Amino acid sequence: MSELNKEVVDLVWGRPSSGGVSASIFRRWTQGFVFCENEQTALEQFEGGPCAVIAPVQAFLLKNILFNRESSNWRQMTEEEQKTALCSTLSEILESACSSPSTGFCLVTWAKGQSPHTTTQTQSQMQDMAAPESSQPPQEQQPTALAVEVLGFERFHSVLHKRTGMSVSGLREEVLSLYHTWRGCCGVLLFLYSVILTKGIENIRNEIQDTMEPLIDPVHGHGSQSLVNLLVSGHAVSNVWDGDRECSGMKLHGIHKQASVGFLTLMESLRYCKVGAFLKSPKFPIWILGSETHLSVFFTKEMSLVGPESPSEQARRVFQSYDPEDNGFIPESLLGRDR
């Protein structure tokens, strides 16, 4: 495993013990972006864990389908329209994560001649493949996941290849050309690694509140809030409030501008966190909803439910930046800094 791959592994998976990353957790993440057969604008998730990537992609995908596509029936899409919408969405998220367009983008894919064959598919897909009239090449199939026994954790990281230095137009062309890679086995992980290397490992470490916390929990396999925020806002901050706050002399980073799609969580009702207006009132009425164990997406076409930040919301946000513990007042010591 190259030194760069090791850095990515440490950031994403943490520093696993001698036993390495759990085979069952890695297997859960080895799926592609697969459209549901019955809901043509919906992405399928087959096992717990990758919703931290799939849900943000689904949210941006719906944004592009509902508000950027000239069609009255948002639930009907041809395969070519699915291809265009998915690749446009992946490009948009990569562009948002890019710290500086001058540094270019990075796409992680299979090394030449190393693309693995899919061995695990849904029952219906296996039946289709068994049909004698099926002449679709392997890379054209819609795999769900690759058995970890065939492509283990170490093997996966040994057959990766990265492409760098693309312009925005070049990025979109490359993403489109890799459509079958994104929908094939490990497409979710390949895209996640692409976002991380486009953003820059050091940039992500500077934004994460706890650098010892991996983006994917090594015990339960779920994605961290930093991972969700990276895909939603382009910044891997650990908090969901507006702006930065200072608490006991430590600066805690939050969301710095109105997001295109929002985020809500049941944890707020339990007072474990507080979601700011930048995520509660995004540019488009689409929200990722976090529960104790899963991320879902809900949406509407009613634009009146969202809007730019009002003067009162702006005043409340500025006040809270001086009142990080929600005491309802600003300490005199903080006011003194601006005298």
Q: Does position 211 have pLDDT exceeding 90, yes or no? A: no
Name the band, by pLDDT with cuts 50, 70 and 90, for residue 285. very high
Q: 3-13 vs 187-199: helix axis angle to the nearest 10?
A: 100
Q: Does position 133 have pLDDT exceeding 50, yes or no? A: no
Q: Are residues 109 and 167 in the same domain?
A: yes
Name the band, by pLDDT with cuts 50, 70 and 90, for residue 194. very high
pLDDT digits (tens, 9 = 90+) for 236-251: 999 999 988 877 778 8
Q: Are residues 176 and 292 in the same domain?
A: no
Structural domain span for residue 296 = 239-326
Total of domains in the chain:
2
pLDDT at 324: 64
Tally helices (H) and strands (E) across the chain.
14, 9
Look at residue 127 and tell me if it is in a domain: no
Strand blocks (E) in 157-274: 160-164, 245-247, 250-252, 262-265
Tell me the CA distances in angstroms from 34 to 40, 121, 144, 152, one per residue in order. 10, 11, 7, 21
234: left (phi > 0), else alpha (psi -120 to 50), else beta?
Answer: left
Amino acid letter, 247:
C
Match 């919703």 to its residue by tokens: 51
CA–CA separation, 56 and 80 (whole Å): 22
Question: Which of the pair, 197 or 1, is modelled with greater confidence?
Answer: 197
Look at residue 225 and tell me if it is in a domain: no
Catalytic residue among 51, 98, 106, 185: 51
Look at residue 62 and tell me if it is in a domain: yes
State the DSSP code for 139.
G
pLDDT at 117: 55
Look at residue 336 and tell me if it is in a domain: no
Whether 220 is catalytic is no
Q: Give the percent of the chain with pLDDT over 90.
A: 55
Q: Are residues 178 and 265 in the same domain?
A: no
CA–CA separation, 7 and 19 (whole Å): 18
Q: Are residues 87 and 166 in the same domain?
A: yes
Whether 51 is catalytic is yes
pLDDT digits (tens, 9 = 90+) for 213-223: 999 998 889 99
Q: Are residues 207 and 290 in the same domain?
A: no
Question: Which of the pair, 99 or 44, is modelled with greater confidence?
Answer: 44
Look at residue 199 and tell me if it is in a domain: yes
Look at residue 39 and tell me if it is in a domain: yes
Q: Are residues 207 and 250 in the same domain?
A: no
pLDDT at 312: 74
Q: Give the percent of the chain with pLDDT over 70.
A: 83
Look at residue 129 and tell me if it is in a domain: no
CA–CA separation, 27 and 36 (whole Å): 20
Q: Are residues 104 and 29 in the same domain?
A: yes
Name the band, by pLDDT with cuts 50, 70 and 90, for residue 331. confident
Q: Are the C-beta atoms of 153 and 23 separated by less than 8 Å?
A: yes
Q: What is the mean pLDDT of the chain?
A: 84
pTM exceeds 0.75 for this model = yes
Element (H, E) at 298: strand 295-299
Q: Does position 17 have pLDDT exceeding 90, yes or no? A: no
Residues forming beta bridges with residue 35, ordered by sequence position: 43
Q: Are residues 202 and 264 in the same domain?
A: no
Q: Are residues 191 and 245 in the same domain?
A: no
Look at residue 263 and tell me if it is in a domain: yes
Domain boundary among 214, 231, 247: 214
Q: Are residues 188 and 296 in the same domain?
A: no
pLDDT at 307: 74
Catalytic residue among 157, 220, 273, 294: 294
Which of 86, 293, 247, 78 is CA-nearest to residue 181?
86
Q: Are residues 176 and 263 in the same domain?
A: no
Q: Does position 121 have pLDDT exceeding 60, yes or no? A: no
Q: Are residues 45 and 81 in the same domain?
A: yes
pLDDT digits (tens, 9 = 90+) for 134-161: 334 444 444 444 444 567 888 899 899 9
Residue 97 structure tokens:
């994560």
